[in-house]
Structure 1
Amino acid sequence: MIRVDALYRYPVKGFTPERRDSLVIQDDGRVQGDRSLVFRFADALEPADATFPKRRGLALMTFPSLARVDLTFDDRTQTLRLRVDDIDVEADLSQSGRERLAEAVTAYLRTTNDARLLEADGILPLGLLGDGRTARFQDRPRGFISLHGAASVGALDATVPAPVDDRRFRSNIVVDGSDAWAELDWNGRLRIGEVVFEVQKPIERCAAITANPDTGVRDARLLRVLTSEFGQDAPTLGILLLPADGGGTIRVGDEVVLDA
């Protein structure tokens, strides 16, 4: 039996996830509160639509040291807390609060191997965009819900000396009980809890998965491993979903039923 093993929400694009007992899937195909904030570069304008390319702000793909920042967001008080090394900042989404948070992230990045990236034209000062509620800063215009199988990550972990776990792949849903790579062959509809999804396509991965979530260092050539060791044409892990008949709530432990 295939079941939901873990659920994740990413309040700030490019930063660490929050593990959740449940997720609200919106009718528009996004997780409620997911990627509702983003640290934008100085020359990045407020987007007019519900998408925000990684090149316009902080992203794990280019700033792997972001993986070390412990992040929590309180939906009720609309406060964001960032903790890493000697930095521990909690602030609301007022203008002064946003500035404090941006200054804290900048101060941390200046101590890392990514510091040189801050010196490029148009990067500083960082700004914090978003209302903390609306899911709008996904890479893709449709947003999508992402899912992968725990067995697929386990198979990849067994091929490299560096530790590889679910956090590297930044999925919303992790399922257990399926064979490694089985989800790549899923098509049509599947039901998770009270939500029916339509499978869209596999997820082609970027350099973000090479960053160790504990050290913030690129320590595994996973893109090359996926193609060379597993015979993939492009480095792929996980699939994208959209709700087929409206949204709802999914929970850890929910059964995953294929071809619902």
Structure 2
Amino acid sequence: MPHVAALYRYPVKGFTPEAREQLTIQPDGRVTGDRVLAFRFADAAEPEDADGLEYWPKQQGLALVNFPSLARLRLAFDGQTLRIHDGGESLVSAGLDRSGRALISERITDWLQQFPDARRLRRRGALPLVLVGDGGTSRFQDRPRGYVTAHGAASTRALGQVLPSGGDDRRFRSNIVISGTRAWEELQWTGRVRIGAVRFEVSGPIGRCLATHANPDTGQRDAEVLTTLVTDVGQSEPTLGVLLLPVAGGGTINVGDPVTTG
């Protein structure tokens, strides 16, 4: 029977996930603790507003699509202190007061200078980076509406058969990874799906971008995921996973929860 194999949230936009045993799905369609912080460029515009929900488009700051090196970092955030590591090296550990935010932004800027990504920081107006977000409000998703994201583990395994380096669930940065479905089955879902006690409306498949090319351990672009999805898998557009919105409020989802459609 299909069930939840893994759950993730991403405290800082564009950075490494936190594996969780349980996620809280908010009525607004976002995950509690997910994308609550982001690094924006100095000249970024004010937050955009869509249906009363503020968010920062990824073009306004650090995002994996343009800064693949970020994939190699590991972080932990307990709601007060942000800790970031590169392998066994601690880059920074600081709180979210003014001095802590400045230190975190400075250390990330210095760290990025050693990678080709740094060229994007050299344009006028990019620096200094500013760490934004209150650490509690989920608001830095790629889409104004937010969405919970999910994909089937069988789909990434199928991709890995034709692109061995690309079959890693972490490349696709979903909140929910599902086992027990057929490869690409979730792309055909319509209507409603129930995950544990939470009912969702399926909003459609997830179109993929260059963020999936970044190796989640090295931060190097080492897998032509987009081309492979089209030429080898046979898709008209590169897609993997689905966007979900809760129906009639949110709730909690746990690893092992059953997944049913219809």
* TM above 0.5: yes
Deviations 1:226-250 (A, max 9, x none): 0011111110000000001110000
Structure 2, unmatched stretches of 5+, are none
2:18 partner amino acid? E
Amino acid at match of 1:38: A
Counterpart residue number, 2:229: 226
Deviation at 1:46, TM superposition (A): 3.7
Q: Match for 2:60 among 49, 56, 62?
A: 56
Partner of 2:217: 214
Distance 2:123 2:90 in 1: 24
Q: Which amino acid aligns with 1:245?
A: A
Query: Hey, what's the Cα distance between the residues in 2 that align with 1:47 and 1:93?
Result: 20
1:164 CA drift (Å): 2.8
Query: TM-score normalised to the size of structure 2?
Result: 0.96
Q: Measure the CA separation in 1 of the matches of 2:124 and 2:236.
A: 35
CA distance in 2: counterparts of 1:3 and 1:27, whole angstroms: 22
Paired residue type of 1:198: E
CA distance in 1, matches of 2:98, 2:188: 47
Offset, 1:114: 1.4
Q: Which deviates more from structure 2 when the two are superposed, residues 104-113 or residues 154-163?
A: 154-163
Cα deviations by residue, 1:62-113 (Å, 9 ceiling, x for unpaired):
00000011111002xx111111154431111101000111011111101112
Q: How does 1:139-154 map to 2 (within 5 A)?
A: 139-154=142-157
Unaligned stretches of 5+ in structure 1? none
Instruction: Encode CA deviations 1:200-219: one digit per residue, 9 max, x unaligned.
Output: 00000000000000010000
Aligned-partner Cα distance in 2 for 1:192–1:107: 42
Q: How does 1:115-194 map to 2 (within 5 A)?
A: 115-194=118-197
Distance in 1 (alpha carbons) for counterparts of 2:219 and 2:104:
19
RMSD: 1.1
Cross-structure match for 1:253: 256
Does structure 2 retain, via aligned residues, the 8 Å contact 1:87–1:108? no
Q: What is aligned with 2:2?
A: 2
TM-score for both structures, normalised by structure 1:
0.96
Tell me if 1:30 matches 2:34. no
Which residue pairs with 1:236 in the alignment? 239
Contact kept in structure 2, 1:168 and 1:211, CA below 8 Å:
yes
Residues 179 and 191 from structure 1, CA distance in 2 versus in 1: closer, same or farther, beyond 3 angstroms?
Answer: same
Q: Return the offset for 1:163.
A: 4.9
Find the aligned partners of 1:48 and 1:164 in 2 and give their Cα distance: 34
Q: What is the count of residue pairs matched by the alignment?
A: 257
Query: Equivalents in 2 of 1:45, 1:231: separation in Å?
Result: 39
Deviates more, 1:159-168 or 1:192-201: 159-168
Q: Which runs of 4+ in 1 moved over 6 A?
A: none
